[in-house]
Amino acid sequence: MREQQERPIGYWAKHLDSLINQAFEQALHDDDVTRRQWQVLSTLSWGTRTVASLRETLGAFRCDQEDSLETALEVLSTRGWIDDDGTVLSLTEPGVAAHDTIGGHVDRVRQSLARGISSADYRTTVDTLRRMCDNLAAGTPEAD
Protein backbone atom coordinates (compact mmCIF):
# COMPACT_ATOMS: atom_id res chain seq x y z
CA MET A 1 0.00 0.00 0.00
CA ARG A 2 2.83 2.38 0.82
CA GLU A 3 4.24 1.96 -2.71
CA GLN A 4 0.90 3.08 -4.19
CA GLN A 5 0.74 6.17 -1.96
CA GLU A 6 4.20 7.26 -3.13
CA ARG A 7 3.40 7.19 -6.84
CA PRO A 8 3.65 10.62 -8.51
CA ILE A 9 0.73 12.72 -9.66
CA GLY A 10 1.32 11.74 -13.29
CA TYR A 11 0.64 8.11 -12.45
CA TRP A 12 -2.62 8.95 -10.68
CA ALA A 13 -3.72 11.36 -13.44
CA LYS A 14 -3.18 8.71 -16.16
CA HIS A 15 -4.73 5.95 -14.06
CA LEU A 16 -7.79 8.07 -13.25
CA ASP A 17 -8.17 9.08 -16.91
CA SER A 18 -8.09 5.41 -17.92
CA LEU A 19 -10.69 4.47 -15.30
CA ILE A 20 -12.93 7.40 -16.28
CA ASN A 21 -12.75 6.32 -19.93
CA GLN A 22 -13.67 2.74 -18.99
CA ALA A 23 -16.58 3.88 -16.82
CA PHE A 24 -17.92 6.17 -19.56
CA GLU A 25 -17.55 3.45 -22.18
CA GLN A 26 -19.63 1.10 -20.02
CA ALA A 27 -22.21 3.75 -19.13
CA LEU A 28 -22.70 4.88 -22.74
CA HIS A 29 -22.59 1.44 -24.35
CA ASP A 30 -26.31 0.69 -24.15
CA ASP A 31 -27.14 4.05 -25.72
CA ASP A 32 -24.69 3.36 -28.58
CA VAL A 33 -22.96 6.67 -27.90
CA THR A 34 -19.24 7.36 -27.68
CA ARG A 35 -17.72 9.65 -25.10
CA ARG A 36 -16.99 12.24 -27.84
CA GLN A 37 -20.62 12.14 -28.96
CA TRP A 38 -21.71 12.63 -25.34
CA GLN A 39 -19.31 15.58 -25.01
CA VAL A 40 -20.87 17.20 -28.08
CA LEU A 41 -24.41 16.64 -26.77
CA SER A 42 -23.44 17.99 -23.36
CA THR A 43 -21.73 21.08 -24.77
CA LEU A 44 -24.64 21.84 -27.09
CA SER A 45 -27.05 21.50 -24.16
CA TRP A 46 -25.56 24.80 -22.90
CA GLY A 47 -26.56 26.54 -26.14
CA THR A 48 -25.67 26.87 -29.80
CA ARG A 49 -22.03 26.59 -30.87
CA THR A 50 -19.96 26.81 -33.98
CA VAL A 51 -17.79 23.87 -34.97
CA ALA A 52 -14.74 26.01 -34.10
CA SER A 53 -16.00 26.73 -30.58
CA LEU A 54 -16.83 23.04 -30.06
CA ARG A 55 -13.30 22.14 -31.16
CA GLU A 56 -11.88 24.66 -28.69
CA THR A 57 -14.12 23.51 -25.82
CA LEU A 58 -13.37 19.84 -26.39
CA GLY A 59 -9.70 20.28 -27.30
CA ALA A 60 -8.37 18.97 -24.00
CA PHE A 61 -10.20 15.67 -24.54
CA ARG A 62 -8.04 13.69 -26.89
CA CYS A 63 -9.67 11.04 -29.01
CA ASP A 64 -8.74 8.66 -31.77
CA GLN A 65 -9.58 9.24 -35.43
CA GLU A 66 -12.64 6.97 -35.23
CA ASP A 67 -14.14 9.23 -32.55
CA SER A 68 -13.17 12.59 -34.02
CA LEU A 69 -15.36 15.65 -33.66
CA GLU A 70 -16.32 15.41 -37.33
CA THR A 71 -17.38 11.78 -36.93
CA ALA A 72 -19.37 12.60 -33.80
CA LEU A 73 -21.15 15.46 -35.56
CA GLU A 74 -21.97 13.22 -38.53
CA VAL A 75 -23.40 10.46 -36.32
CA LEU A 76 -25.42 12.86 -34.15
CA SER A 77 -26.74 14.67 -37.22
CA THR A 78 -27.74 11.37 -38.87
CA ARG A 79 -29.65 10.44 -35.71
CA GLY A 80 -31.47 13.76 -35.89
CA TRP A 81 -30.06 14.90 -32.54
CA ILE A 82 -28.32 18.05 -33.78
CA ASP A 83 -29.19 20.71 -36.30
CA ASP A 84 -26.58 22.52 -38.39
CA ASP A 85 -27.87 25.68 -40.03
CA GLY A 86 -24.52 26.26 -41.73
CA THR A 87 -23.33 28.66 -39.04
CA VAL A 88 -24.16 27.15 -35.67
CA LEU A 89 -25.03 23.77 -34.25
CA SER A 90 -27.86 23.16 -31.82
CA LEU A 91 -29.73 20.26 -30.25
CA THR A 92 -33.02 19.19 -31.77
CA GLU A 93 -35.93 18.07 -29.58
CA PRO A 94 -34.86 14.41 -29.96
CA GLY A 95 -31.30 15.55 -29.15
CA VAL A 96 -32.48 17.19 -25.93
CA ALA A 97 -34.34 14.01 -25.00
CA ALA A 98 -31.24 11.89 -25.75
CA HIS A 99 -29.10 14.27 -23.71
CA ASP A 100 -31.46 13.99 -20.75
CA THR A 101 -31.56 10.18 -20.89
CA ILE A 102 -27.82 9.72 -21.38
CA GLY A 103 -27.13 12.43 -18.80
CA GLY A 104 -28.65 10.16 -16.15
CA HIS A 105 -26.06 7.49 -16.95
CA VAL A 106 -23.27 10.05 -16.90
CA ASP A 107 -24.46 11.42 -13.56
CA ARG A 108 -24.18 7.93 -12.06
CA VAL A 109 -20.55 7.69 -13.24
CA ARG A 110 -19.81 11.11 -11.74
CA GLN A 111 -21.48 10.16 -8.45
CA SER A 112 -19.43 6.97 -8.32
CA LEU A 113 -16.26 8.94 -9.04
CA ALA A 114 -16.91 11.35 -6.17
CA ARG A 115 -18.27 8.82 -3.66
CA GLY A 116 -16.84 9.52 -0.20
CA ILE A 117 -15.29 12.83 -1.27
CA SER A 118 -16.70 16.04 0.17
CA SER A 119 -17.73 18.83 -2.19
CA ALA A 120 -14.96 20.99 -0.73
CA ASP A 121 -12.31 18.30 -1.30
CA TYR A 122 -13.55 17.75 -4.85
CA ARG A 123 -13.38 21.50 -5.63
CA THR A 124 -9.90 21.70 -4.05
CA THR A 125 -8.70 18.76 -6.14
CA VAL A 126 -10.05 20.22 -9.37
CA ASP A 127 -8.60 23.64 -8.54
CA THR A 128 -5.21 22.11 -7.70
CA LEU A 129 -5.13 20.18 -10.99
CA ARG A 130 -6.15 23.31 -12.92
CA ARG A 131 -3.36 25.31 -11.29
CA MET A 132 -0.83 22.56 -12.07
CA CYS A 133 -1.93 22.73 -15.71
CA ASP A 134 -1.62 26.53 -15.69
CA ASN A 135 1.86 26.25 -14.15
CA LEU A 136 3.14 23.87 -16.80
CA ALA A 137 1.41 25.73 -19.63
CA ALA A 138 3.28 28.88 -18.53
CA GLY A 139 6.57 27.06 -19.06
CA THR A 140 9.32 25.75 -16.84
CA PRO A 141 11.48 28.44 -15.24
CA GLU A 142 15.13 28.40 -16.21
CA ALA A 143 17.57 27.06 -13.61
CA ASP A 144 19.95 29.63 -12.14
What pLDDT digit, counting tens, does each position of 69-110 carry?
889 999 999 999 999 988 899 999 999 999 999 999 999 999
Between CA 39 and CA 9 the distance in angstroms is 25
Does residue 76 lie in a domain region? yes
Identify the H or E element spanning 119.
helix 119-137
Q: Which domain holds residue 108?
A: 35-129
Does residue 96 lie in a domain region? yes
Question: CB–CB of 90/76 below 8 Å?
Answer: no
Question: Which residue would you say has higher pLDDT here, 68 or 50?
Answer: 50
Does residue 17 lie in a domain region? no
* pTM, two decimal places: 0.79
Does residue 124 lie in a domain region? yes
Does residue 78 lie in a domain region? yes
Least confident of 1-10, 72-81, 129-138: 1-10
Q: What is the mean pLDDT of residues 35-49?
A: 93
Give me the number of domains the chain comprises.
1
